[in-house]
Amino acid sequence: MKWVLVWFLAAATAVLLAVAWLQSGGLKQHAMFSAGTPEEAVQALMSQIQARNYEQAFASLDPSSGTDLASFTREMAGTDSSLRTYSSLQTADVSPLRADGDQAVVRLRMNWSSALGSLDDVRDVRVRRDGSVWRVVWPKPAFPTVPPQVVSVNYLSWDVIGRNSSQNWGAQDVDSPKVRITSMNAISRPGRVVILGEVENEDTVPAYLNVNATLLKADGSALEEEGSFDLISHVLLPKQVSPYRIDFPGERIDAVKSVRMDARALLVPASADPVIAVSNQAVSKDGLDRNVLKGQLVNQSGRPVNIAQVLAAYYDDSGKVIWVSDGYVDQALMPQVPVPFAVDIPDDIAARLKNYRVIVNHYSRSGS
Amino acid sequence: MKRTLGSKFELCKSMARTALLCMLPLCVLPVRASAAELHVPAIVEAGHGFSIPVADSGQASFYLVGPDHVVKRTVNLASSLQIQPSDVRAAGHYQVILCDSSSPCTSATFEVKAAAPAHLSFFLHPSRVPVSTPGSIDATAFVFDQYFNLVLTPAAVDFRITPASGAGFSRQASARDGVAWMHMDSTPHEGRVQVTAALGGVEEARVIQQVAAEACGLRMKAVASGNSVTLETDPVRDCSGNALPDGTVVSFTKIDKAGKSTVDTPIKKGIARVQLSVQGPAQVSVACGVVLGNEVALNGKL
Amino acid sequence: MKSVADMTLALRKMSPELVKLAWVKAASFVLAACVLAIAQSSPQLPEVHLDAAGLAPRPIEELTGSTIARHYALAWRDLAGALESSQGGALGEEFVGFARDHLLQRVGEQLQTGVHVRIVDHGHHLKAVFYSSDGAAMQLLDQAQLEIQTFDGNKLLDTQSAPHEYMVLMTPGADRWYVRDLEEVSGKSF
């Protein structure tokens, strides 16, 4: 009888240990350190990154990788309150490019999900066979250093003192900023109607702006109402122009007789700093053969810009806005350091576009 | 038969007597039904009390129902009914009702009109206006008395305009149904403009800011320095010569073999300046809002 | 004369159809009663007709006109409800500024004295007479057909059934137009 108990206890212990091993990612680790193909090695690495096990992920890299644990962690986890620090790796698609004996190159497409949408990171990754195991060769990222310096900030900022709510009707107040929709174009896209255009802050004070549109039927009744959400630069300085795009999913343009536009502006405190230059813009193809508008953002102020959003407006040869696209940069913009960006362009738009203009929205944790 | 007829006649007589006796109070009552007739003035000025003479005796319930006020009290009909100034502050129609226990209530109405003007609710829009713009400034004044009743009697409201530079002037507008309004053009010079609405001894002042209009004759120059070029505008002014305020965004665009580069930079101390790197020949342009400035060709000899 | 038994037999033969018909009729009646009860329990909006012909200095937009008429009707519905119930909370959100202050004071004093007023609203004819250039205020004249009954508790004190004229000031808010001033006037031409 006692032998039954002993055997039972031993078996139970073994089962529990196995479960614990599985829970701690033992299976994944085993896969990582025994990857039989380049794709398996990259997938196993991505699994560890997805689970935020940066130490184990780093340990699985090929020794010839030029990076160190701190740089690797900083690259994957993000830094300086950038968008990457609020993101998590959702999926990783791996496709082989070429293989040659003990070396291989695979195309890795990482899809990061954040509160502001999904971000793609496409790169070609080298994999090397070490004995019977394939390991990823991960290059050291080049983190630019900002030379120590003093940057004087003498850009204008605006504060607002509004009317006291207890004051009588008719008491002096400050008006909302005057904004004007300078163009509006309604187009049909697959599965939706899209309203695009540009809006200008005609006033001499900053404006916080929202643009809404209502699609009207032939009888004048409203079909649907939508806003621009984040496809607009909400804070516009004096004389600044922003593109906007309003999507109406599920609507058809032949059901729309007219459009009623509504641009609402609020007077808000703002600063003219930071100035962000958008340099070396060009339309090209990315690693997945998609049309993109690429360029670099340069923060010309002395403080980091934690999250930057690029808004691009595309024009045809008559100067009409034919598309507006946006993208977030998942790195912080350090002062004077160029950071690349790329925003998608639909193929049919890329074929027709003659000009484009980019503006940058920004968010800085330290306040402006 | 005679006896039957006679008894029936007696019966009819007694019934008629009874009916008359019953009807008597009804005939008498109307004389007492309008127990206390109310004689009220047709129109009263807000905040002015008055008295209602009542020729009766006894006690009654008195009600005063107005736009913002309800009074109920027991009154002695031997003396006149007092309406306090505080009872008739709001303009509008008032009802007085008198009820005693023995008769239906009587009522009367009177109207309270606004007192003399004592407040102006003055709206001057917009608070910022480009210079030299026709009909761009709107002034509207609502005339109220001390109890914030709208003064509906016609009155002349003066609008006195004091610009930052140049001579002041005034316009007059008639207040109709308590509202006076006027348009005016903005003056050619930027700066603070005070507009005062005045009616009798009542004044209300507002200030608006006249600002420069759209940029006019926007020009920039390019100064090369190594592999970069500094682009600087001339002082940015409107067509009347007013300087655009600091903070107004100016867009510089450069196109060279590296691609297109743009910088939106605010005006500082009247000019906008930016430094861009250049690779070979380049074309640079400048814009402010929807106004385009000049273009400069850089031939790459840096 | 048919016997009771014959009648019963005949009834029994007819009864399924009769019963069906009876049920349908009864159900229709109950349904109609419910609809009527529901309709009567939520106060109807009074009819408001807006005339904005010749409005100056700013012409009125169609959407603004329909919004104003609707919110004015809502204001009168709320006003009637507040004066009948003597509850300030029934005043809703349609009144601001002087109009709201006056009405709240009136309703508070009604509650103290036990007086309440029932308004039977037969509709309003609104004439817009002034619309400021910046769209910040509109002045209107209202000719209203109202029956006004004044009560002390359950005792009817007075009944008035006559046209009433009001001078109205309305100002726009984020999503509606508010009644800022409401003064009864007399002798205004429409």
CATH of range B117-211; options 1.10.3720.10, 2.60.40.1930, 3.40.50.12140, 3.40.640.10 = 2.60.40.1930
Residue A157: inside a domain: no
- Is B97 within 8 Å of chain C by CB? yes
Which positions in chain B touch C103 (Cβ < 8 Å)?
68
Q: What is the pLDDT of residue B261?
A: 92
**Does domain B36-113 fall into CATH 3.40.50.150?**
no
Q: pLDDT band at C92, cuts 50/70/90? A: confident
Spans of chain A below 50 pLDDT: 368
Distance set, CA A46 to CA A31, A122, C15 (Å): 12, 13, 78
- Is C83 within 8 Å of chain B by CB? no
Q: A340 to chain B, minimum CA–CA distance in Å?
A: 13
Domain ranges of chain B: 36-113, 117-211, 220-298
**Distance from C-alpha of A336 to C-alpha of A317, rounded to nearest angstrom:** 34
ipTM: 0.77
DSSP A190-257: TTEEEEEEEEEE-SSS-EEEEEEEEEE-TTS-EEEEEE-TTSB-SEE-TT-EEEEEEEEET--GGG--
- Is C185 within 8 Å of chain B by CB? yes
Closest to A223 (Cα-Cα) out of A237, A213, A210: A213
| Token pair of A26 as six digits | 């033992």
Q: What is the pLDDT of residue B1?
A: 42
Residue C160 in contact with residue C83, Cβ under 8 Å? no
Residue A163: inside a domain: no
- Is A169 within 8 Å of chain C by CB? yes
- Is B61 within 8 Å of chain C by CB? yes
Nearest chain B Cα to A179, which residue? B289
The dihedral over CA atoms of C126, C130, C133, C138, expressed in degrees to the nearest 10, equals -50
Domain boundaries, position A246? 174-268
Q: Is the pLDDT of residue B186 over 60?
A: yes
Q: pLDDT band at B13, cuts 50/70/90? A: low
| Token pair of A287 as six digits | 């690693």
A160 CB-near residues (< 8 Å, 6+ apart): A174, A267, A268, A269
pLDDT in tens, B105-154: 899 999 999 999 999 999 998 888 999 899 899 999 999 999 999 999 99
Domain boundary among A203, A237, A268: A268
Residue A160: inside a domain: no
Q: Which chains touch B (3 or more CB pairs under 8 A)?
A: A, C
Could you check whether B117-211 and B220-298 share the same CATH topology?
A: yes
Residue C133 in contact with residue C145, Cβ under 8 Å? no
Q: Are residues A34 and A132 in the same domain?
A: yes
In Å, the largest CA–CA distance within chain C is 88
Residue B186 in contact with residue B129, Cβ under 8 Å? yes
Q: Are residues A53 and A109 in the same domain?
A: yes
Q: C40 to chain B, minimum CA–CA distance in Å?
A: 28
- Is A171 within 8 Å of chain C by CB? no
A316 CB-near residues (< 8 Å, 6+ apart): A322, A352, A353, A354
Residue A336: inside a domain: yes
Cα separation of the two ends of chain A: 77
Is the preceding omega at residue A38 within 30 degrees of 0, hence cis?
A: no
Helices (H), B114-219: none
Domain boundary among A239, A268, A297: A268
Q: Are residues A230 and A325 in the same domain?
A: no
- Is C183 within 8 Å of chain B by CB? yes
CATH classification of the domain holding A29: 3.10.450.100
C111 CB burial (10 A radius; 0-12, 13-18, 19+): middle
Which superfamily is assigned to B220-298 in CATH?
Immunoglobulins (2.60.40.10)
Q: Is the pLDDT of residue C39 over 70?
A: no
Q: Are residues A315 and A204 in the same domain?
A: no
Residue A54 in contact with residue A69, Cβ under 8 Å? yes
Residue A2: inside a domain: no
A251 compared with C13, residue with greater pLDDT:
A251
Residue C137 in contact with residue C61, Cβ under 8 Å? no
Q: Are residues A23 and A87 in the same domain?
A: yes
Q: What is the pLDDT of residue B38?
A: 82
pLDDT in tens, B30-48: 333 444 578 899 999 999 9
Nearest chain B Cα to C150, which residue? B65
Residue A110: inside a domain: yes
Q: Are residues A35 and A131 in the same domain?
A: yes
Beta-carbon separation of C106 and B66 below 8 A: yes
Q: What is the mean pLDDT of residues C101-125?
A: 94
pLDDT in tens, C46-66: 999 999 998 989 999 888 999
The region, left, alpha or beta by phi > 0 then psi within -120 to 50, assigned to residue A352 is: alpha
A40 CB burial (10 A radius; 0-12, 13-18, 19+): middle
A192 compared with C27, residue with greater pLDDT:
A192
Residue A143: inside a domain: no
Is the preceding omega at residue A274 within 30 degrees of 0, hence cis?
A: yes
Q: B70 to chain C, minimum CA–CA distance in Å?
A: 6
Q: What is the pLDDT of residue C56?
A: 87
Residue A175 in contact with residue B123, Cβ under 8 Å? no
CATH classification of the domain holding A349: 2.60.40.10
Q: What is the pLDDT of residue B33?
A: 40
Q: What is the pLDDT of residue C33?
A: 55
Domain boundary among A205, A238, A268: A268
Domain count, chain A: 3
- Global pTM reads 0.70
Residue A159: inside a domain: no
Closest to C181 (Cα-Cα) out of A124, A222, B67: B67
Question: CA-based Rg of chain C, rounded to a whole angstrom?
Answer: 25
Q: Are residues A284 and A244 in the same domain?
A: no
